[in-house]
Structure 1
Amino acid sequence: MKSYNVRIWKISTRKDGLNNHMVRWVVEGKVFTEHFSTWELADSFRAGLKKAAQNGEAFDTATGMPDSKSRTHSTVTWYAHACDYVDARWSKVSGRQRISIAETLAAITPLLVRDRRGAPNPQVLRSALYQWAFNKQHRDTDKPHEIAEALVWITNASVLVADLAEYDRITTALDACARKMDGTAAAPSYYSRRRRVLFNVLRYAVFKKRLVKNPLSEELDWKAPETEVCEEIDPAVVASPEQVHELLTAVSYSGWRRGDRLVAFFACMYYAMMRPSEVTALRREDCTLPEKGWGRLLLSGSAPTVGTKWTDNGQAHEQRGLKGRPRKAKRIIPIPPVLVAILRAHMQRHGVAPDGRLFRTERGGVLYKSGYVRTWKTARALALTPSQAASQLAKRPYDLRHAGVSLRLNAGVPATQVAQWAGHSVEVLLKIYAKCIDGQDHVWHTMLDGALGIDLNQADQDKETKEE
């Protein structure tokens, strides 16, 4: 809140203490003080306050500072502050979070400049920011000449952090959060993730006294662009049990070196509703596989693909806990006999890794996303009709998880139970996953025909009774 109701008192001096010269002033009835080691410093500060009041500047009732002092409070540029934030958070966050921070800052930073004279190619600048500037481990490594020049330019062109208090600057940053690289509107979840990063970067600026307050803490007269992206799962991508069976069969002969090793991998995503990173981390001791009947999986971790540049040990995968859960949390999933049989056959045929992992490459390494995605594409072309293969049906391996969740919901399993097995909140489950299975309309038609048939038969009987 701003106010012009300002009174500035005389400098008061004490004879003891280091900072014994005090400037005191009142903004809208609230008293503020600053202490200085010499009378000259105190007088200079007081003169600045008086000049701002005489020039008709508004004073902030929260900080007591005039607008001019709030804007010049920090001489740190946005680019330097963003690098500082990355370094401060690096050791505290996962590889995926590091990537999210770098991606967001690489989208925002090119727009927060004083002018664009001499600006490098946008793609070069974005690459320089994402792969070098906002990657603590990679920042000081050798760079191509054009990358180094791009970073010199942004260093000199970046606006001050304090400028983000201005409406035009902060809304420019929000616009960058709400749009994809091609300029189209991003999905709401994508924008929300970026906005959270921006909010935390600005909160860090307040903590470092580079901003008086976080501009995103107050309601802004700004609205994210409308998007046609639907975050609910398209029913067209959800495969039926029969289609999944055909796809898993096709996987077994989609490459003699890799295909047969991945049948159980994809089966876990469907029959156990597991994420790919959770299947990658699955170990023999996590599985209870009886000879008959239902089994059980006890999940305790995941191994998401991050990339060697974003992990501390230089590995492409990092060992993490379950998504959205405390580090040592576990999740129990009952698995049907069909998956029990598939997993038992997989271990009998391929064994397990020395550390107990069920799924690995032919040489014992961790599975890469690029490898199993190629196998899935081959399997789709073999198992589906040409029209289905050209559609969105089971387009990605992750769609198997969607199909597994939808299968249970449509079978009548309570949403609370399905959410617990899938590792989701009930709210997210019902909003995102509760969709019909492709090709299952005949089930609902039969149920409705039965209901309508009872009503029609009763109507015919009533009509015959009246005629008699």
Structure 2
Amino acid sequence: MRKGEPFHIATGLPESEICAAEDAKNFAPEVSWFTFCCDYVRDHWPDIAAKTRDGITDGLATATLAMLGSDRDRPSDEDLRTAIRWAMIPRNAEVEPPVDLARSIDWLKAHSRPVADLQDAKLADQVAKQVTRLLDGSLAASDTARRRRRALNTAMEYAVTEGILPRNPLTELKRKRVAKNDTVDPRVLVNPEQARELLVAITYVGSWDRARGRRLQAFFGTMYYAGCRPSECVGLRAADCHLPETGWGRLMFDETLPVVSKQWTDHGKRHDPRGLKQREREAVRPVPIPPVLVQMLRLHLEEFGEAEGGRVFGNERRKPIGASTYSRVWEEARELALTPAQVLSPLGGRPYDLRHSCLTGWLNAGVPPAEVARRAGNSVEVLYRRYAGCLDGQEDAVNRRIEAALE
């Protein structure tokens, strides 16, 4: 009545529901959730990055725990989740599953519910809630839950396109809307003095011969003085560095090397070469660098030389640096450079916080936001949204303006 929609005389139902009932006759209820997940990932695998593959399979594997029709002889949730993630990898379709996963895969094939069952709003709600939980039942981090929901929603849209579902069941669920908070916590920012102390402390990590820390001092310095992402530092080539003897230099970023598990890459290596984040593959971003970083990079190349592929930074075997490697060095450096209270605080808790500190420093120094965004590889909109709470030194001026207006 509210929509002004006519009713079907024979059944008393609104015409929209009659159409939905007619559409339901054309579904393929025999398509199981297990088969659907494998088909969906196989169709999208060639066109998506390794980290995206990881995220999609994580979301679908978590949703699988709510799409099982029986609990009899059910393997553990951890085994089921691991098994279906392995089965979703296209190249595994033609090989026998590992012995420790075979039973779980057979059980999943036998007990996965039809995808068409998601027309039941109660089941759809259970699946939607499942992706926001960890295996122990606790709530997942907001970013994790958001990524899983996005993966599940995209899969449901694919099911609609393939005629497996008449409509996306997730769109009809009433979910509490929580504002996304992706602003940078001001407590993680290090000031210039703290940054210098941390960069010095890094050189004391590990023995002198192995140079675990000394090998990474310029790596962390590039993040702090050039405002780049860790994956951009890993992908930086010596040929793309202009390092004059005096004055400012320039770095040219055109590639990233994000780290992901080998099973999600096509080449079986942990680093997946990609273009700049959210840019065309051929995009290049020039970033001017101050003299202090120029000298730091010159000394680094003189002592350690170029790594594999002409990269500036590498490990002891001249291979690309892994995330676990530089994260462990950073944790040890924090304990050397900071006070015990600061070590327990969020201050510089992650290497990525060096980038946050750099961009915040540029903004507080009065660099135009458009120029900061260009150097950082962000949009101005994202820059303002993420760093609005970190701008310092403007409160007194704003208060004076408001006071003058009130007078």
Deviation at residue 265 of structure 1 after TM alignment: 0.5
CA 1:189–1:370 in 2, change beyond 3 Å: closer, same or farther?
closer
Aligned to 1:127: 82
Question: 2:8 corresponds to which residue?
Answer: 5
The answer to whether the aligner puts 1:81 opposite 2:22 as a matched pair is no
Match for 2:54 among 66, 87, 99? Answer: 99
Secondary structure, in 3 states, of the residue corresponding to 2:313? Answer: coil
Superposition RMSD on alpha carbons, in Å? 2.9
Deviation, 1:173, is 2.1
* Pair 1:251-2:207 in alignment: no
Q: Is the 8 A contact 2:249 2:289 kept in 1?
A: yes
* 3-state SS of 1:111 partner: coil
**Contact 2:308–2:314 under 8 Å retained in 1:** no
Correspondence for 2:264? 310
The answer (yes or no) to whether the contact 2:34–2:84 under 8 Å persists in 1 is no
**How is 1:41-60 mapped onto 2 (pairs within 5 angstroms)?**
60=16
Pairing of 1:148-167 with structure 2 (within 5 A)? 148-167=102-121
Match of 2:145 among 188, 191, 199: 191
Selected match of 1:238 from 173, 189, 205: 189
Q: Which residue of 1 aligns with 2:280?
A: 326
1:356 to 289, 310, 314: 310
Q: Report if aligned partners of 1:270, 1:404 keep a CA contact under 8 Å in 2.
A: yes
Partners in 1 of 2:135 and 2:286 — Cα distance?
Answer: 40
- Unaligned runs of at least 5 residues, structure 2: none
C-alpha deviation, 1:165, in angstroms: 2.0
**Aligned counterpart, 1:11:** none
Report SS of the residue matched to 1:270: helix
1:298 aligns with 2:301: no
CA contact (8 A) 1:406 1:435 kept: no
Change (3 A) 1:186 1:60: same
Letter in 2 for 1:69: K
Contact 2:24–2:166 (8 Å) recurs in 1:
no
1:66 alignment partner, SS class? helix
Equivalent runs, 1:361-380 vs 2, <5 Å? 361-380=315-334
Q: Give, in whole Å, the separation in 2 of the partners of 1:315 and 1:60.
A: 51
* Counterpart position of 2:175: 222
Letter in 2 for 1:103: D
Give, in angstroms, the shift of residue 276 of structure 1: 0.8
Cα deviation for residue 4 of structure 1 reads 5.6
One-letter identity of the residue aligned with 1:247? L
Distance in 2 (CA, whole Å) between partners of 1:367 and 1:190 is 25
Deviation by residue 1:113-154 (Cα, 9 ceiling, x = unmatched):
223232211111122123x12222345555454522222222
Equivalent runs, 1:257-272 vs 2, <5 Å: 257=210, 258-272=212-226
3-state SS of 2:310 partner: coil
Structure of higher RCO (CA pairs closer than 8 Å, 6+ residues apart) = 2
Matched, 1:273 2:264: no
CA contact (8 A) 2:285 2:375 kept: yes
1:3–1:404 distance in 2 versus 1, CA, 3 Å: same
Question: What does residue 427 of structure 1 align with?
Answer: 381
What per-residue deviation string (whole Å, max 9, x for no partner) do you get for residues 277-317 of structure 1? 10000012211222222221111110111121111111111
Deviation at 1:207, TM superposition (A): 2.1
Max radius of gyration: which structure? 1
More deviation, 174-183/403-412? 174-183
Deviation digits for residues 302-346 of structure 1, max 9, x if unmatched? 011112111111111111000111111111212111111111111
CA distance, structure 2, for counterparts of residue 129 and residue 61 of structure 1: 35
Q: Distance in 2 between matches of 1:60 and 1:294?
A: 66
Asked whether the equivalents of residues 20 and 166 of structure 2 are also in contact (C-alpha less than 8 Å), the reply is no
TM-score (norm 2): 0.88
* Residues 58 and 67, structure 1, Cα contact 8 Å, conserved in 2: no
Q: Percent identity?
A: 42
* CA distance in structure 2 between the aligned counterparts of 1:219 and 1:155, rounded to whole angstroms: 28
Conserved? CA contact 1:74–1:211, under 8 Å: no
Q: What are the residue-to-residue correspondences of 1:330-345 with 2, within 5 Å?
A: 330-345=284-299
Structure-1 separation of matches of 2:92 and 2:23: 39
Cα offset for 1:230? 4.9
1:149 counterpart SS class:
helix
- Preserved CA contact (<8 Å) 1:274 1:422: yes
